[in-house]
Amino acid sequence: MPESYIKRILDARIYDVASETPLDAAPALSKRFGNQILLKREDLQPVFSFKVRGAYNRLLQLNAAERAQGVIAASAGNHAQGLALASAHLGIDATIVMPTTTPAIKVNAVRARGAKVVLHGDTFDEASTHAQALVAERGLIFIHPFDDPDVIAGQGTVAMELLRQHPGDLDAVFIPVGGGGLAAGMAAYIKYVRPGIKVYAVEPQDAACLAAAMEAGEPANLSHVGIFADGVAVARIGKETFRVLRDTIDGVITVSTDEICAAIKDIFEDTRSIAEPAGALGLAGLKKYIEQQGARGQALATVVSGANTNFDRLRYISERTEIGEKREAVLAVTIPEEAGSYLRFCRDLGSRAVTEFNYRYANNGAAHIFVGLQVSTDADRQQMLDELRQRDYQVADLTDNEMAKLHIRYMVGGRVQGLDDEVVYRFEFPERPGALLQFLECLAGRWNISLFHYRNHGAAYGRVLVGLQVPEGERDLLRETLAGLHYPFWEETQNPAYQFFLGNG
């Protein structure tokens, strides 16, 4: 029962290495969603994750002989850093087995704190199996990242701080779940001290081991685990964590990769800090709860559980954010392959901002364009689809199509036979509504567009590549026309990159 953890949590003496983190208001989010939203900032721990709490609390329970043996753990990164710091503080030798897929920032941080790193397997579970083999081989003490009462109690101190920092009304708390240590510790404390507060566990859709266990009535292995949110990429919920969670949580919320990316952006806009995917998981679930329940005027808290992510991952996160916020629709639209059809399409879009436009000439009949459009909600997206179809456009909604978002958007193109009159120009458009329409108005349907690539990257200028079918005798007129736009442009017809991959085959 959860009350068995209360004394353990109250007795946890973790503040030699862990910090009491702030509970910050999220004013922009709160205003946007009409609820009081609070962020428990575990990303501000010395190792940028809550994991140091449980690791240190577990080490404090070791006797002198056990400390002398040395410790070992398997971890995707955050438990590893916490254990490395805790072990260094207590003078204990530590070995950490980490999946080979762990972000380099976490691997380097563990090594920098003096622990020995062994990279093995693609997932936490493969790393854990190898760690257990090393336990048998070397006699090391295994420190479990989540399925240990002392680790769970250490993580439960997050809830102890949260309730002390916010003694007023609190409707619900949203906690990220991988193996379940943080959720079990927090849920046990919250439900004992203030049982009226709802507690929701949040998981990625592609690593929902707690949801699978709740359905099966016992821990069950997932056949596949997504690793985007590597800090919660666990195939099987812990036995002890599940025992606690099944009696203490009010539900499990699963969220998509796009929703996690959107939550990372939300946290950045309110705090100017960058959460790792697992760190933003709880907020993604909180937002989904608001949407599904129509919640208004409630006090809702979540844990920003970590901030250990590779910088180069931000490019992918940024790309997926707008769809995660339901602010971008990705469509395949069929229009006539004739001069002026793009102009008519853009006019039919009205004031909607175009976020992406990809096209390559295929034949004389129909043009298939890959287009991203700014929307405000799912309902707005549906209204836009209805309007386009009423105007006789053939439209396929690709907004939730993983292949389209991951691959096809970057592959629209290729060589085309018979385009001997094609010229290619590169432009910098001012990143403002109407810039694309102004460009098409300037061309006025005089020349057929055979290639178009544009993607809004949030910069002051949009980079655009355009191919046009222009007879030799009209090319001076084209250049004069383009100069009248006052957009910077460069002819790229002889560029070897174009000639190799897109030019007349």
Closest of 128, 159, 133 to residue 145, by C-alpha: 128
Indicate which residue of 40, 49, 51, 450 is catalytic: 51
Do the strands 198-204 and 251-255 form a parallel or antiparallel pair, or are they unpaired?
Answer: parallel
Label each residue of 462-492 as H, E or C: EEEEEEEECCHHHHHHHHHHHHCCCCCEEEC
CB burial string 147-185: b at 16+ within 10 A, e below: bbbbbbbbbbbbbbbbbeebeeebbbbbbbbbbbbbbbb
> Using CA atoms, how far apart are residues 178 and 122, in angstroms rounded to an integer?
16
**Other C-beta atoms lying within 10 Å of the C-beta of residue 429:** 19
Q: How many CA atoms lie within 13 A of 348 on its CB side?
A: 18
**Other C-beta atoms lying within 10 Å of the C-beta of residue 432:** 12
Q: CA dist 444 to 109, 335, 339, 475, Å?
A: 58, 17, 9, 15
Catalytic site residue 305? yes
Indicate which residue of 305, 341, 405, 450 is catalytic: 305
- Give every strand in the sheet of 299-304, ordered side by side: 23-25, 36-41, 299-304, 172-176, 198-204, 251-255
Catalytic site residue 341? no
What lies within 8 Å, CB to CB, of 410 at 6+ separation is none
Catalytic site residues?
A: 51, 305
